[in-house]
Amino acid sequence: MAQMTNYLLTLQYDGTRYDGWQKQKQSSRTIQGKLESVLTEFVQTPVEVHGSGRTDAGVHALGQTASVKLPGFFKEEELLSYLNHYLPEDIRVLKTEAVADSFHARLSAIRKTYAYHVDTGSKKDVFERKYVYGFPFPLDREAMEQASRYLTGIHDFKSFCGNKKMKKSTIRTLENICIREQDGRFTFVYTGNGFLQYMVRILTGTLMEVGLGRKSPVCVKEILAAKDRSAAGFTAPPEGLFLVSVEYSMIPGSKG
Any domain includes 253: no
Task: Give CA–CA dist 63/55, Å, rounded.
Answer: 12
- Do 158 and 216 belong to one domain? yes
Q: How high is the pLDDT of residue 256?
A: 44
Task: Give CA–CA dist 150/70, Å, rounded.
Answer: 45
Question: 150 by DSSP, 3-state: which?
Answer: helix
- Do 126 and 186 belong to one domain? yes
pLDDT band of residue 164 (cuts 50, 70, 90) is confident
Q: How high is the pLDDT of residue 157?
A: 97
Percent of the chain predicted with pLDDT > 90: 92
Domain boundary among 107, 122, 137: 107
* Residue 255 predicted with pLDDT over 90: no
Show Cβ contacts of residue 202 under 8 Å, excluding neighbours closer than 6 positions.
159, 160, 161, 162, 229, 232, 233, 234, 235, 236
* Residue 254 predicted with pLDDT over 80: no
Q: For all residues of the chain together, what is the average pLDDT?
A: 95
- Do 123 and 232 belong to one domain? yes
Residue 201 in contact with residue 130, Cβ under 8 Å?
A: no
CATH number, position 80: 3.30.70.580
pLDDT band of residue 1 (cuts 50, 70, 90) is low
Any domain includes 256: no
Q: Where are the beta strands (DSSP E) in 84-130?
A: 91-99, 109-119
CATH number, position 122: 3.30.70.660
* Residue 37 predicted with pLDDT over 90: yes
Give the helix/strand (H/E) hosting 147: helix 141-151
The Cα angle at residue 220 between residues 214 and 221, in degrees rounded to 5 = 145
Domain boundary among 80, 107, 134: 107
Domain span including residue 52: 4-107
- Do 115 and 98 belong to one domain? no
3 or 205, which is more confident: 205
- Do 78 and 141 belong to one domain? no
Q: How high is the pLDDT of residue 240?
A: 98
- Do 36 and 129 belong to one domain? no
pLDDT band of residue 26 (cuts 50, 70, 90) is confident
Task: Give CA–CA dist 37/254, Å, rounded.
Answer: 25
* Residue 25 predicted with pLDDT over 50: yes
The domain total for the chain is 2
Give the model confidence (pLDDT) of 94-145 as tens digits: 999 999 999 999 999 999 999 999 999 999 999 999 999 999 999 999 999 9
Any domain includes 254: no
Any domain includes 252: no
- Do 88 and 166 belong to one domain? no
Domain boundary among 107, 138, 162: 107
Any domain includes 120: yes
pLDDT average, residue stretch 195-222:
97
Which is the catalytic residue, given 14, 19, 56, 183? 56
* Residue 33 predicted with pLDDT over 80: yes
pLDDT average, residue stretch 73-96:
97
Any domain includes 249: no
Instruction: Mark whether 140 is an active-site residue.
Output: no
